[in-house]
Chains A and B, each alone.
Chain A
Amino acid sequence: EPEVTQTPSHQVTQMGQEVILRCVPISNHLYFYWYRQILGQKVEFLVSFYNNEISEKSEIFDDQFSVERPDGSNFTLKIRSTKLEDSAMYFCASSEAGWADTQYFGPGTRLTVL
């Protein structure tokens, strides 16, 4: 069964550094998403992406964050100048169609900012 994959599974970085989290969505899916879950808190929506542009973003997704689909398979989340409070599990998801379709999640990347 096709699945969403994410790398790395765990990333440790120093405060102020840039990180790139990578995701490979399911191959025939057209919509892509990033969510995060700070330890002990709810899973929160960050951004959705379609046709090479952001379709929706939350207030969390400020100028520190950016997303890109650099080729036909990868979908990345870049966090510039990481802060301690960026430590969280980051989940990528994809869906075949948009609003009405089920989102399938990857296993997550645990980001630890020291």
Chain B
Amino acid sequence: GDSVTQMEGPVTLSEEAFLTINCTYTATGYPSLFWYVQYPGEGLQLLLKATKADDKGSNKGFEATYRKETTSFHLEKGSVQVSDSAVYFCALRGGDYKLSFGAGTTVTVRA
């Protein structure tokens, strides 16, 4: 079945550091890929998405490129802020309605 593997955390960074969170997937067909973010005490918010190979999703300085050849969708941000501290979830949707999530990566950014 469909599955997502993302790098384990927690990840602790200083402000203005470069962030990358690795995400790889297993799916049949051509899934859509997502990054969701969960800020402390809040629900899941869509951060960005890509629906086909080589698409780049971007939002709030975050980027991720759908790489079919490596089955990856790594999340990157060039200069993180304290406000980026959150849990980040990689997810895919295959040929049905459900989203399959990775385990989540906790990111803490220190001033």
Mark A residues whose CB is within 8 Å of B: 4, 6, 31, 33, 35, 41-45, 48, 55-56, 58, 91, 93, 98-100, 102-108
- B20-42, CB under 8 A of A: which get 1 and which 0? 00000000000010101000001
For chain B, the bracket of interface size reads 20 to 34
| Contact yes or no, A42 B46, CB < 8 A | no
**In the docked arrangement, what's the CA distance between A91 and B45, Å?**
11
Inter-chain CA distance A94–B9, complex, in Å, is 29
Contacts of B32 in A (CB 8 A): 100
Interface residue stretch chosen among B63-71, B76-84, B92-100: B92-100
Contact A31 B44, CB 8 Å, known A43-B89, A102-B49: no
Q: How far is the CA of A99 from the CA of B92 in the complex (A)?
A: 12
Binding site for A on B (CB under 8 A): 32, 34, 36, 42-46, 49, 51, 89, 91, 93, 95-104
Q: Given contacts A45-B99, A55-B97, are A102 and B104 in contact (CB under 8 A)?
A: no
A62 to B50, CA, bound (A): 32
Report the number of A-B residue pairs with Cβ-Cβ less than 8 Å.
Answer: 53
Contact across chains for A48 and B97 when beta carbons are under 8 A apart: yes
Chain B residues contacting A99 (CB-CB under 8 Å) are: 93, 95-97
Do B102 and A42 touch (CB < 8 A)?
Answer: yes
Given the complex of chains A and B, what is the CA–CA distance between A108 and B40 in angstroms?
A: 12
Report yes or no: B89 in contact with A56, Cβ–Cβ below 8 A: no
Within 8 Å CB of B99, what residues of A? 35, 43, 45, 103
Give every chain B residue within 8 A of A41 (Cβ-Cβ): 103
A47 to chain B, nearest CB (A): 9
Whether the Cβ atoms of A107 and B42 lie closer than 8 Å is yes
